[in-house]
A and B are shown apart, each in its own frame.
Chain A
Amino acid sequence: MKIFVTVKQVPDTSGTVAVNPDGTLDRASMQTIINPDDMNAVEAALTLKDELGCKVVAFTMGPPPAEGMLRELMAMGVDEGVLITAREFGGSDTYATSQIIAAAIDTYGVEPEDIILAGRQAIDGDTAQVGPQIAEKLHLPQVTYAGEIQKDGDVLTVKRILEDGYMTVKVHTPCMITCIKELNNPRYMNIGGIFECYNKQVVTMTYETLKDHPLIDKSTIGLLGSPTNILTSFTPPQKGAGMMLAGDGKETTDKLAGILAAKHII
């Protein structure tokens, strides 16, 4: 039994975000982090590994420096990393991305007992589309927004969190589960793990590795193979500053209430 975890290195959007004059993101000036929801997927995989002693393999698609992120995950306990990287893969939208990652996972080999875990969504795009689309391309069932996962033989019982409640879904392996932050608290790297991670294997899959896979075709990958195109990107204008009311006493709140009443807001 194996657990595949798909992870993404993303710019840290919680800090200051620099935008180029042409409206694109100045990625060079930003810190990269492991996508937060993906950390919950990794933790879920490691929790299952602690219980069942299975192998955990992390998959990422990105430029070669993403290997550093795979090493960090190995220091947490992930057994092996797969780095999917090629110029041909650049500019892929969610459709093309899932096509490539599905091909990579399929090339590695999915067995009946296996589970694929992904984060719900990445903070750079917030689409939540790649997980379900990988599942579709691999013809596997999916459960998204997992807040609890229990494994009993080849059946997983997943608590799927909705806006107004939850569903309990039973699903057979092999399957895709996307994880949310309520699922767990990701562990830290440990000292032993940091030493060990450099003895573990990172497999690189390039266009050459995957080009004969049925999912990989120049017309379905990369910028040209992406069904969606960016028409334009822009920064929203900042709203002008409003009226600051001096003081924090009753006279100030009276004044505010007076303005609101005069404008028929209250």
Chain B
Amino acid sequence: MKNIKFKFSYVVSLLGFLSITFVGCERELSDEAVFATFSNAPEIFSDSPVGMGSDFYFPFAGSKATAWTVDESEGYNSDASMRFDVPNANDPEGNYAGAIFRIDGAGRNLTGFNALTFWAKASRGVTIGEMGFGTDFLENKYVVIANNVNLGTNWSKYIIPIPDPSKLINERGMFSYAAGTQETDGFGYTFWVDELKFENLGTIGQPRPAMMNGQDITETSFIGTVINLSERGLTQTFQLPNGINQLVSAAPSYFNFVSSNPSVASVDELGMVRILDSGTAVITSSIAGVESQGSLTIESLGNFNEAPIPTRDPANVISVFSDAYTNVPVDYYNGFFAPYQTTQGGAPPLDLGGGQVINYTQLNFVGVGTFLNVQSLDLTGMTHLHVDINVQEAIDPDDFIRLQLINDVGGNEISGDFTITGSQLSSNSWESFDVPLSSFNGLTVRNEIGLLFFISDATISNIFVDNIYYFRE
């Protein structure tokens, strides 16, 4: 059979040669002006990888690089399939499986298809974290990811819609996946994928693109702020023939973004919104002419009102975060403590034109760390904590921000806290606090301070913070 296959390809290449010679004889301009076209082959894996070249498998960092093999004993109506062995969580070679399949060579023209499809099953019922295409470790321009794909123990067909096929004239990222053992108590499992290909399905329809996860969101902002819409929920949804609405996260390049007032806020094709002036602008979007659900309304207050500049003698200051002093090294300004923390921001701090400032959003609690890879702070000689806070929302009397300090994190921990009440804070303006360290109830020792927490329990969700430093009077 192999010999016959070779014979066929020989014939095909001869024919190709003949037609090229023939075209060469023509002298009409229209033929010369044709765009370069790329392969429009649909198959990625049938019984073996198709048209992928030799060097096409690129594992994600930290994943087990040998997770993927071709299984010659399993297949959907065939003798072979792609086999993915997800490692145990304690596997020293990598605690998850994940990779991209990128064509080793020129990309493909996928404009004639509307979905990536495959058959799959697993050694146990399991949810695969991510399956998709478009990731190429280059521009990653047209990434599509279906999250939490449910695999059963028998073969089923899966459909991942293309948000807008007309964009994909030269795509190399054919497939990507990431699978861990969060749901399997750390124990590994196997899943198989077969008949992996692009298809043009008349049975999928009703596209419903969405930005901001389909919500109409209004945010106050300042000149200089940059908002990345791809971090705020860009999705496309198609209804599959079985009636299920399949949502995929879609790269910003599938969208056409529009600002109602580009002089206030501009938006580019990568979904980056830049605040340029005071005023109001509404960012909306569409995919292939279908308007997205959701929008982002920017109410720009103009130039950011910077916090008061500190005046204390640097000799009497240990500064954690201030442009006025040399800051001590910190591990982070946001520890992202899973799973209860919701707070975003601070990683990294913002520069709104007047130096650095931290904007914590969705605040419930957040920690500034000085204990992992940097020296903890010896505040024995200090008397006060200074911090400037600017609340970006209306304040209720019951609202609060509690400051907490922890000494000797992970060792002989001792902590103390001090609560700033809602009446001490102001909406959209700075309030400065000089809190005596003796007011941190319970903090009997402060020679190895490793964490400073801002805790609001979500009573206050959006704050700017600046000039965090300790001083002695």
Q: Do A and B bind each other?
A: no
Q: Which residues from chain A sit less than 8 Å from chain B, CB to CB?
A: none
Q: Which residues from chain B sit less than 8 Å from chain A, CB to CB?
A: none
